[in-house]
Amino acid sequence: MKPSARFRNLPRVALVGRANVGKSTLFNRLLHRRRAITDPIPGVTRDPVEAQAMITGRPVQLIDTGGFRLHQGAELSAGTALGRGKAAGTSVEAHDALIELEALVQSRTREIIEGADLIVLILEAGEITPEDEEFIALLRPYRDHLIAAVNKTEGGRREEEAWNLLRYGFDRLIMISAEHGDHIGELEEAIIARLDFSRVEAAGEDDTIALALLGKPNTGKSTLSNRLTASAASIVSAAPGTTRDVVEGNFRYKNKNFRVLDTAGMRRKSKVYEAVEYYSVNRAVKTLEEADIVFLLIDAQEGLTEQDKKIAALAHERGRGIILVLNKWDAMPQVKNTVNAVKDRIHFFFGQMEYAPIVPVCALDGFGVDELLSTAIKMYGQLCRRTETAELNAALEKWLAEYPPPQGPRTRFKIRYAVQVSENPVGFVFFASRPDAVTDAYKAYICNRIRRDLGYSMIPIGAEFRAGHGKRTGKGRRGRR
């Protein structure tokens, strides 16, 4: 579902701290829903995760950041999520990529700190660590807009030790438990008291087009997301599985507002070994509930895979618009008819998705992005299209005449009339004398005619057959969106 109300010019509140102090747990607590992935393994959050949150009735832009690490770029310990990869036999190249990724995470955290209106520094009750001390020193220039919260103090646990943190010059410490909710209300009041809401504007409901970027790992989803939003919101790295949480961004194109959801790469279930990746993939699938259109990114050189088909099927089942995005097109042979040859091959091996547009792009240099967005705008128009009942039934009468239903004693059925019951996703209900007798082939025929004759050529069609009596009519029965 899209948010019912959105706002502009929100104050930005960044949750920061070393790895595994509970930033993502607090983020979810303040958001009142599980948005960021939480896990005992340090270093789970990589990309900054942003969302609009209502705190004591006031809207803020809440940002969860990657954990601060000491001596960035040094050898990683075997106890960290990155170090465990090396301990398991990761190649030198892969390990170097992970080191580079860690540096990118730290860099993005610093950028978020510099742009935040308020910083919530999360510390953990108990012994202060060298990482805490270095981070506290790093944040000294931002003390005028910083709140220190001490996490994991549920039921007063270790509060006496926690007060020792005042020696680092904090004016106030707020003892909280992000997991259990202790004193969260006190923290929320402190946050709101430090923010300026004079520039906030209610955007209300709008026609923002939500795009979900799905696909296998390393197909260029984050590169495309950054290209679309003209930002570096999504971390781009050669390390596999870089994106874990869903990273959101917004942009405008041809007077249309877009919201982009960059997701984790989706591998075959048998290839998913860690709980973090399992949750990442689940979050990627859940973006289908928020999206209007799916950009399914496919490596142009590798071509369509069975995993791509499974991802497309998930989107089709939910009635989402789907565009097959052939990324890294710059690596393909630049000869005549290459595009048509690739499209024909995909249609041959994936005939069920013949209606889905195929657009070659290069996310790195921007080739094909204009065509991709123009296609998305046209597709969104079809998703929101409504066909009046009279027009639909006039067309149905023609389809039945051109290809009559079977007339055998066990296969005979009559389709009496039809109505459109929803847009985005587009759904129709057909009332038939014997709905159980309607074959899959005939249902496919009806859906194909809807696409061809009624202006839904690029999108999946939902067609339900129900028992119904009486004559076809062009009156009444308007479905709900």
In this structure, the answer to whether residues 425 and 376 fall within a common structural domain is: no
Q: pTM of the full predicted structure?
A: 0.67
Encoded tokens for 446: 């009806």
Residue 74 has pLDDT above 50, yes or no: no
Number of folded domains that form the chain:
3
* Euclidean distance between CA atoms 150 and 174, whole angstroms: 6
Instruction: Report the pLDDT value the prediction gives residue 36, as an integer from 0 to 100.
Output: 47
pLDDT tens, residue by residue, 235-248: 444 554 445 567 88
What average pLDDT does this structure show over 344-364? 92
202-233 pLDDT per residue, tens: 765 567 899 999 988 888 998 999 999 987 65
What is the rounded distance in angstroms from the CA atom of residue 84 to the CA atom of residue 350? Answer: 39
Determine what percent of the chain is predicted with pLDDT higher than 70: 78
Residues 179 and 281 in one domain: no
Give residue 245's pLDDT. Answer: 63
Reported as a pLDDT band with limits 50, 70 and 90, residue 72 is very low
> From CA 337, how far away is CA 302, in angstroms rounded?
18
Q: Residue 308 falls within a domain, yes or no?
A: yes
Structural domain ending residue among the three candidates 177, 203, 229:
203
Q: Is residue 480 part of a domain?
A: no
Is the Cβ–Cβ distance between 438 and 446 less than 8 Å? Answer: no
Q: What is the mean pLDDT of residues 54-68?
A: 89
* Cβ within 8 Å of residue 282, ≥6 positions away: none
Residue 306's domain is classified under what CATH number? 3.40.50.300
Of the two residues 39 and 208, the one the predictor is more confident about is 208
Q: Are strands 462-467 and 427-432 parallel, antiparallel or unpaired?
A: parallel
**For residues 355 and 321, what is the distance between their CA atoms, to the nearest angstrom?**
10
Q: Is the pLDDT of residue 325 over 50?
A: yes
Neighbours of 368 (CB within 10 A): 20
Confirm whether 427 is domain-assigned: yes
Looking at the structure, tell me whether residues 337 and 361 fall in a common domain.
Answer: yes
Q: Do both 23 and 166 map to the same domain? A: yes
254 and 177 fall within a common domain? no
Contacts of 400 (CB under 8 A, 6+ apart): 415
Q: 198 and 223 share a domain?
A: no
On whether both 87 and 128 belong to a single domain, the answer is yes
Q: Which of 181, 203, 225 is the last residue of a domain?
A: 203
E-strand ranges in 205-263 read: 209-215, 247-253, 256-262
Within a domain: residue 344?
yes
User: Side-chain half-sphere of 153: how many Cα atoms within 13 Å?
Assistant: 22
In sequence order, what are the beta bridge partners of 428? 420, 463
- Hunting for tokens 């029965």 — which residue is that? 477
Instruction: Assess whether 373 and 402 both reside in one domain.
Output: no
Position 474 in a domain: no
Indicate whether 312 and 429 sit together in one domain.
no
Cα-Cα-Cα-Cα dihedral sign, residues 361, 292, 47, 265: negative
Closest CA to 164 of 134, 123, 121: 123
- Mean residue pLDDT across the chain: 82
Q: Does residue 336 carry a pLDDT above 70?
A: yes
Same domain, residue pair 410 and 290 = no
Q: Is 201 helix (H, G, I), strand (E, B) or coil?
A: strand
Judge if 280 and 377 occupy the same domain.
yes
> Which residues constitute the domain of residue 219?
207-383
Distance, CA of 226 to CA of 209 (rounded, Å): 17
Looking at 324, 348, 383, the residue that finishes a domain is 383
Check: CB of residue 414 under 8 Å from CB of residue 407.
Answer: no
pLDDT score of 196 more than 90: yes
Q: Are residues 458 and 323 in the same domain?
A: no
Residue 478 falls inside a structural domain: no
Q: For residue 197, give both structure tokens.
A: 């809401």
Q: Is residue 476 part of a domain?
A: no
Instruction: Write the CATH number for 447.
Output: 3.30.300.20
Confidence of residue 197 (pLDDT cuts 50, 70, 90): very high
CA distance 212 to 247: 10
In a domain, 54, yes or no: yes
Cβ neighbours of residue 284 closer than 8 Å, sequence gap 6 or more: 214, 246, 263, 264, 266
Q: How many CB atoms lie within 10 A of CB 65?
A: 28
For residues 416-438, give the mean pLDDT.
94
